[in-house]
Amino acid sequence: IGVSLVWGALVNVTPDDGVVDLRLQDNTLHNTGTLRVGIIGAEECTAAGTCTPHPVSHSLYPDAALTLPFQLQPGNSLQLRYRLTRDGYREHVRTIAPTTT
């Protein structure tokens, strides 16, 4: 029986001019930016400002997509809470309206 142990380090290098660009098309969130987005929560918000929270916890890498675990109703928007590694894991909030293209 042989056992091998390998040690290493994972280094995350973010671009100096990194951009967060999130698009919502139908029920899918697309990361078209250059930074990994650590999603920690999502809320569906009506035009009147009433928001319904949904449990979402996911890392969304550049050029990746995430199908939401709920169906956004017509006319509503998505309020997303996320963290970025480069900001010391500070929480950000962004409201995203669905695109129709």
pLDDT of residue 23: 94
Question: Rounded to two decimals, what is the model's pTM?
Answer: 0.80
Phi (first) and psi of residue 59, to 5 degrees: -90, 125
CATH of region 22-99: 2.60.40.3970
Please say whether the beta carbons of 34 and 64 come within 8 A. no
Q: What is the pLDDT, as a whole number, of residue 9?
A: 86
Q: What are the boundaries of each domain within the chain?
A: 22-99
Residue whose entry in the numeric block shows the structure tokens 């017509």: 74
| pLDDT tens, N- to C-terminus, the chain (101 residues) | 888 888 888 777 777 888 999 999 988 999 999 999 999 999 999 989 899 999 999 999 999 999 999 999 999 999 999 998 777 778 999 999 988 65
